[in-house]
Amino acid sequence: MNVFVTGGAGYIGSICTEELLNAGHQVTVYDNLSEGHRSAVDARARFVTGRPEQDHDVLNAVKAARPEAIMHFAASALVGESMANPKKYFHNNVVNGLKLLDAAVECGVRKFVFSSTCATYGPPDRVPMTEELPQRPINPYGESKLMFERILAWYRQSYGLEFIAFRYFNAAGASERFGEHHRTETHLIPNVLKVALGQAAHCEVYGSDYPTPDGTCIRDYIHVIDLARAHILGLAAGKQGFYNLGNGDGYSVRQVIETCEKITGKNIPAFEKPRRAGDPPALVASAAKAINELGWKSKFPKLEDIVRSAWAWHQQHPKGYPD
């Protein structure tokens, strides 16, 4: 297929672009490089510098690409920043997203695949979390993603736009060529690996008094390549709806640090700090719906394999991408 990928210079978008190309698809990447990196874009893809704030920029880019499907990864995605600057999140994640949706409708795009998040649920009533749980986001980031999910449902009803929204849990790991380099790094695994690389003296543990076996938060980690493969399955005609993507296994912060120590062979000191507001004790996915309806299966379910791939990439790119 001919696929238009927004945010294709970012962490998940770049690896999804790579996997799409490996599977024989044609890809146009649209990215404003505010968070992404030009060198993270696979050379086999066509690249368009995005300026979504300019009138008709998104529409013109979609018209020129003439895609059969759109994968929408571009978003502002820092929970803390969203609390301090909700305007940025609603403008980028909703207003600019609407421009893309309208372009899809005008250009007759058949399929829209959306990068959503488990943050739409808020603190869950139970784990593992299924798609039927109530969605009660507790920050503007999660709220903006939920708003776009609801808009997608109305666009399907009114315009017939077929869509899939994947609610990610904790994406991690790397491919051989592309990995995780955020300008502001908030994710646990890369921050722990910075200590192993000698780029930080210690990592930080936010809260050690949660009602979990070791007192630290439990999260579900999913390999970024497994995420990408789910998106490719989502391109199939007739596949629609909302799907969780995770491994169904939870690992505590301490377990992640211990696994990083094992894989790197380095001692990684950890400093305990107070809890962060809004951090639930445990977030673990049920991906049964994606498994049963899309035929998706995680190829890298073990945390050790996820960390090993991330460590290999960070060793080869200790300063991340050059641009």
Catalytic residues: 141
* N-term to C-term CA, the chain: 30
**What is the 3 state secondary structure string of 39-62?**
HHCCCCCEEEECCCCCCCHHHHHH
**Of 321, 315, 249, 310, which Cα lies nearest the Cα of 284?**
249
Q: What tokens were used for 114? A: 């959306």
Half-sphere exposure of 220 (CA within 13 A, CB side): 24
Strands 241-245 and 162-168: parallel
**3-state helix, strand and coil shares in percent for the chain, rounded to the nearest 5:** 40, 20, 40
CA atoms within 13 A on the CB side of 270: 22
